[in-house]
Amino acid sequence: MVTNIKSTMHISGFLYILKGAKLCFKKGNKRYLILPFFINIIVYTIGLYFLFGSTTAYLNDVFNNHIHEYLSWLSWIVIPIVNIILFIIVIYFFTTIALTIGSPFFTSLAMNVQEDLTQEKFTDSSFKDTLK
C-alpha cells in the first residue's frame, strides 16, 4: 500500500513538469523561450569551439616541444582530463552568462504564466514597493 502511494506521488510530480512545459509552450509564451534558447546556443558554441581549439593546440605544443619523449604517453591522459575540467568550468560560467541574458525574457514568461493561471492582470510594482 505504501509503495503505491510513493509511486503515485512520483508520477504526479512528473506530471507537474509536463503541465509546466505546456504552460511555457502556449501560443503567447513561446516567444520568451525561443530568443534566449538561440542566444544560449550561440554563446555555448562559440565558447566551446575556442576553448577546445586553443586548449588542445596549446597542450599538444607543450607535450611535443617541452616534455621529454619518454613522457609523451602522458598526453593521452592529461589532455582529456584538462579538457573535461575546462568543460565543467566553462559550462558553469556560460550558464551564468546565459541566465543573465535570458532573465528579462524569463521574467516576462513568468508574468504571462501567472496571468494565465490566475486570470488576473499582473500589476508591475516598483523596486521600492517590493522592499516594503
Q: What digits encode the pLDDT tens for the residues 27-39?
A: 878 888 888 888 8
Distance CA 51, CA 46 (A): 8
Copy the grid coordinates of residue 75.
Answer: 598526453
Task: State residue 1's pLDDT score.
Answer: 46
Task: State residue 131's pLDDT score.
Answer: 46
pLDDT < 70: residue spans in the chain = 1-11, 122, 124-132
CB count within 10 Å of CB 63 equals 19
CB count within 10 Å of CB 44 equals 16
Answer yes or no: are the C-beta atoms of 32 and 108 closer than 8 Å.
Answer: yes
Task: State residue 129's pLDDT score.
Answer: 56
Task: State residue 71's pLDDT score.
Answer: 77
- The amino acid present at 107, given as its one-letter code, is T
pTM greater than 0.95 (yes/no): no
Distance CA 67, CA 75 (A): 10
Write the CB contacts of 55 (distance below 8 Å, at least 6 apart in sequence): 82, 83, 86
